[in-house]
Amino acid sequence: MVLLLQSLAVLNCNKQMVLYSKPQIDSDGQWQWYETCGYRCKPMVDFFEGHGITIRLESFNYSRTFTIFSFFICGKNDNVAINPERVFVKLSDGKRVYAKARRPGFSKEESTQLDRMGGDYLLFLRASSPLTGNLPLDMPYAAEEKLYRPISFFFDVPPPHPTEEFELHIEGLVKNGQKVDVPVIKFGPAVRDSGQGIPIDG
């Protein structure tokens, strides 16, 4: 695997390639995966779509913290909610680690708290109060007839290296009072020429 990644880096010798954890699913006929532009298309981002719900995912496991950013989108007339307490990762050794969820970004109070902690983001995440219960998708999504909710999932374990495989299980998604089955999302090593990751020496 390492040799393959190094070879890909050589093929793109004019760019700084980075190693990152890419999410994918086994197609089950109900959900599909696709990749499309993120901010200015740098980098491309991964989406999963099924049952009228779209989920964007990106893992950040390249420093001291292990978080997965998520973006849940649905139609404005759909009643969709996500319970972050029922979200967990399964690591390569089989260990399950349940998420501690928070709203992405920082309020003024949170920024002050982080400053008081000397900018230690891991300490801040451990001390912050998690989001709990069923969280509705209730934020207007741009000019489209849709609603969304962004959630950052924090896992309080040493981050898996991008060469390691791990799984994300989302078991707390509900639409119109009915549980929505989301396939296991498998993260594995991949390379790209932009975005966060671990630089690969060509």
Q: Give pLDDT tens digits for 36-71.
A: 876 666 777 899 999 999 999 999 998 899 999 999
Task: Assign 175 to helix, strand or coil.
Answer: strand
Please tell me the predicted confidence (pLDDT) of residue 26: 85
**Per-residue pLDDT tens over the stretch 151-192:** 999 999 999 999 999 999 999 999 999 999 999 999 999 998
pLDDT band at residue 6 under the 50/70/90 scheme: very low
The sign of the torsion formed by the CA atoms of 101, 56, 21, 199 equals negative
Percent of all residues in the chain with a pLDDT value above 90, rounded to a whole number: 62
- Structure-model confidence comparison of residues 187 and 143, the more confident one: 187
Q: pTM above 0.75?
A: yes
Residue ranges covered by each domain of the chain: 2-199
Helices (H), 34-165: 108-116, 121-127
Please tell me the predicted confidence (pLDDT) of residue 7: 44
Which two structure tokens, joined as six digits, stand for 178? Answer: 């009915």
Contact 47, 33 (CB under 8 A): yes
Length of the chain: 202
Query: Residue 5: is its pLDDT beyond 70?
Result: no
Please tell me the predicted confidence (pLDDT) of residue 139: 87
